[in-house]
Amino acid sequence: MLSDEQIIKFQTLYKSRFGKDISRGEAYEQGAKLIRLVELIYKPMSEAEYQQLQERRRKTGDL
């Protein structure tokens, strides 16, 4: 699922954010979980949904 390059990048980002080194296995596991979370919560918007959102924003003044 994650390439070696992606795992190394995740380890680098993790170290810069949390100041802690993690193993390759831990980086793979956490990276895979992060990808799965994004897959579960991200839903692309259709053109019709986008237009409805824009109309609602115009009506409400973008509260």
pTM above 0.85, yes or no: no
pLDDT value for 63? 60
Higher pLDDT, 1 or 62: 1
- DSSP, collapsed to helix, strand or coil, labels residue 43 as coil
Among 9, 44, 59, which Cα is nearest to 30's? 9
Based on the structure, what is the number of domains in the chain? 1
pLDDT digits (tens, 9 = 90+) for 1-39: 899 999 999 999 999 999 999 999 999 999 999 999 999
Range of the domain at 47: 4-60
Yes or no: say if 10 and 35 are a contact pair by the CB < 8 Å rule.
no
Distance CA 13, CA 44 (A): 26
Distance from C-alpha of 15 to C-alpha of 9, rounded to nearest angstrom: 10
